[in-house]
């Protein structure tokens, strides 16, 4: 039988099997593609943020109700990842990724034509079910190809590639919403999904050998998830990263109201503020990648985890004392978001370090737990909406302090034991 090269070839010959075993080769081409796929998440979240006020008016929605379309998106991201992880371990990385991107593209088109905020929230859930495949499987592909420290370096480099998304997305979204309308934002997302689908089909080879994988069953999947939840290392690092990032998702949900409505920043200029914070996130991740040459991922995480706690608590205490100023808000937002450039790559790499054969399942559970926490925090910002900045600041403070406590109580004892 003639052996085919990609696309479409699975484990049909020695040459492909040897390619699957190659590790620690961080090819720029596949990192760029993985970074572009990972950017689907922030693009889908950030691009329509400047359009929130316009969407409320066009859809005749109550103040703060558009924020629930973020919550439904987070729920879809959390639940969908639990599906894609086991599928990618059993059938390979490519098939579920292609299916997810197809669903994402179609659902984005549905969002563009939603007649009310309730239907929009429902279709956003479907959009997330498709888009989350890119998050789960890109992490698994990195783990397929790299060890723990190289994984952390690869995740930092992915942030460099995907970091353009949160920088450019609000700027693009603000311009598109002002000149064309908010619905065209989702048409752009559909186009991005279609391009990603073609790029994966023609440019992403399989990285996971499924020939010796046992049959997929609910009992096996439940058992795998149960073993991961009993792993103190996996759960600890997942909570550290999840709680820290939950504060950022609260910031994403609440910052349009705080900055545009309360601070008077024009919607078309909101993207510059949002992009500056994202640039800090990207810059910190690249410093992290350089530091990994001489420092361990646990050392870096240990010394960075206090940053979101300090920034979040400063914002929370100032809001309670009535001392919030524009300078403090902007400084606190920047410090919190930038600190995640150190926390995200290292916490992710540490959580996946000992689960190489089940990287898809571990990546899925980690993502589901983190987006589950993010869903709660995003909903809390909307539920406690009182016309002030206080709900957002309090949630960010709780998340930053919670990440620090999770590290101190769960992760730090493991570090000392080593």
Give the model confidence (pLDDT) of 145-202 as tens digits: 777 778 888 888 787 777 777 778 888 888 898 899 999 999 999 999 999 999 999 9
Half-sphere exposure of 117 toward its Cβ, with a 13 Å CA cutoff? 20
What is the span of the domain harbouring residue 81?
27-207+231-417
Whole-angstrom distance, CA of residue 334 vs CA of residue 402: 19
Amino acid 333: pLDDT: 96
- At which residue do the structure tokens 């073993």 appear? 227
Q: Does 302 map to a domain?
A: yes
Q: Does 20 map to a domain?
A: no
137: CATH: 1.20.1250.20
Q: Does 243 map to a domain?
A: yes
Amino acid 6: pLDDT: 37
Q: Does 18 map to a domain?
A: no
For the chain, the domain total comes to: 1
Q: Which of 60-64, 123-127, 167-171, 232-236 has the lowest mean pLDDT?
A: 60-64
DSSP string, 238-258: HHHHHHHHHHHHHHHHHHHII
The answer to whether 316 and 393 are in contact (CB under 8 A) is: yes
Higher pLDDT, 310 or 144: 310
Q: Does 220 map to a domain?
A: no
Q: Does 183 map to a domain?
A: yes
Burial of 307 (0-12, 13-18, 19+ CB in 10 A): buried
Q: Does 226 map to a domain?
A: no
Higher pLDDT, 216 or 189: 189
Q: Which of 3-17, 60-74, 100-114, 223-237 has the lowest mean pLDDT?
A: 3-17
Q: What is the mean pLDDT of the chain?
A: 85
Q: Does 392 map to a domain?
A: yes
pLDDT class for 22, splitting at 50, 70, 90?
very low
């Amino acid at each position: 039988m003639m052996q085919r090269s990609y696309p479409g070839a699975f484990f049909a010959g020695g040459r492909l099997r040897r390619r699957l075993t190659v590790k620690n080769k961080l090819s720029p081409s596949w990192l760029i593609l993985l970074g572009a796929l990972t950017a689907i998440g922030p693009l889908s979240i950030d691009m329509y943020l400047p359009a929130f006020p316009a969407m409320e008016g066009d859809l005749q929605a109550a103040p703060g109700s558009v924020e629930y379309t973020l919550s439904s998106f987070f729920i879809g991201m959390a639940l969908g990842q639990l599906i894609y992880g086991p599928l990618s371990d059993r059938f390979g990385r490519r098939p579920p990724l292609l299916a997810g991107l197809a669903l994402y593209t179609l659902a984005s088109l549905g969002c563009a034509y939603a007649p009310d905020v309730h239907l929009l929230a429902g279709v956003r859930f479907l959009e997330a079910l498709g888009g989350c495949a890119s998050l789960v499987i890109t992490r698994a592909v990195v783990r397929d190809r790299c060890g723990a420290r190289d994984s952390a370096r690869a995740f930092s480099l992915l942030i460099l590639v995907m970091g353009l998304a949160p920088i450019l997305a609000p700027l693009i979204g603000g311009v598109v919403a002002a000149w064309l309308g908010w619905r065209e934002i989702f048409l752009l997302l559909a186009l991005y999904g279609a391009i990603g689908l073609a790029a994966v089909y023609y440019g992403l080879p399989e990285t996971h050998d499924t020939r010796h994988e046992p049959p997929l069953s609910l009992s096996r999947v439940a058992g795998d998830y149960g073993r991961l939840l009993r792993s103190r290392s996996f759960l600890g690092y997942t909570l550290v990263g999840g709680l820290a990032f939950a504060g950022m998702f609260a910031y994403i949900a609440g910052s349009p109201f705080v900055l545009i409505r309360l601070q008077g920043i024009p919607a078309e200029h909101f993207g510059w503020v949002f992009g500056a914070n994202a640039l800090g996130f990207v810059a910190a991740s690249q410093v992290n990648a350089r530091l990994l040459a001489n420092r361990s991922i646990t050392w870096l995480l240990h010394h960075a985890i206090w940053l979101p706690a300090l920034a979040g608590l400063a914002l929370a205490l100032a809001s309670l004392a009535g001392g919030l100023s524009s300078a403090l808000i902007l400084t606190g937002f920047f410090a919190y978001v930038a600190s995640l450039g150190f926390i995200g790559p290292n916490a992710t790499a540490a959580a996946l370090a000992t689960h190489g054969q089940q990287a898809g399942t571990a990546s899925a559970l980690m993502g589901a737990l983190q987006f589950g926490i993010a869903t709660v925090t995003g909903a809390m910002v909307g539920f406690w909406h009182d016309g002030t900045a206080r709900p957002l600041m309090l949630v960010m403070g709780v998340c930053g302090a919670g990440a620090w406590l999770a590290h101190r109580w769960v992760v730090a004892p493991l570090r000392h034991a080593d």
